Structure 1
Amino acid sequence: MEKLRHRIGWLPLFVGLGSMPLIAGCNSSKTFALDDGVPNTPPPAVITQSKTAPPPGPLVKRDTGTYPVFDYTLKAAAEQIEDADYQKTEPRMAALARQRKTGAISEAEYQRRVAEYRKLAADHGTTALSDISKQ
């Protein structure tokens, strides 16, 4: 009985080996080709780093004397003006636009006034800040 059990243990191996020619014969009518025409080579490397990047190296601690800041200071989209400034400036700007539309002033005079108002807008922030700091 021991011999029979020992021989039955080899049975799956023999069945597997015996079926190999049958499995291989299933594909005999067709030729099995590994080359499907698509190259298996990797695409060429593309370098995306600029030439001005510093060479890689060890990180060095820099002692600047201040704590690191990782956020940025938010700035207003436009400088805010007070109501009194708006009430004073808006009629002048509307009058200037009307004069240009009707042709009452020349283009050179219009551009001079626009440059004057832009200079005022650029300097207004620093002037207001100095006024606030004096208080």
Structure 2
Amino acid sequence: MKKLLLIAMLVGTFGVSYAQSDYYNDYRRSITDVNWQNVIADLVLTTVQANQIYALNDRYRDYNSWNRIYVHNPDRWREDRYVELERILGRDKYVKFKTKYYKGQNPVAYYNRNKNNDKRYKHMDKKIKVHKQKHGNGHH
């Protein structure tokens, strides 16, 4: 019985980590899909703003550093990243950025749309609900 429980836990952990890595891949694409040098030139950003964007892009250099922050709420990366980006750019330049790179959509909605259309994420709803029922809502 213990072996069976251990196997079930390992399979469950692997399933969650696979889905987590999909969120991380979205996070990485939000950085790599944009030519940040062009953004900086197009929006005529200051050196300070450019350095802040590069620091934001380098905040989580690998999956483990990202996952330490977002393990219980992988969706939150979008909100965190784009709130910070709006703070760096300022409202007007952030709107111009969204218009050019996300067709006027909020980048959070842009990546959520991709997630909602991706079958790989569908199984997460049940797991998140079960996790919240067992462990509370995730606030510490």
The one of the two structures with greater contact order (alpha-carbon pairs below 8 A, sep at least 6) is: 2
Q: TM-score range by the shorter chain?
A: under 0.3
TM-score, normalized by length of structure 1?
A: 0.26
The structure with the greater share of residues assigned to helix is: 2
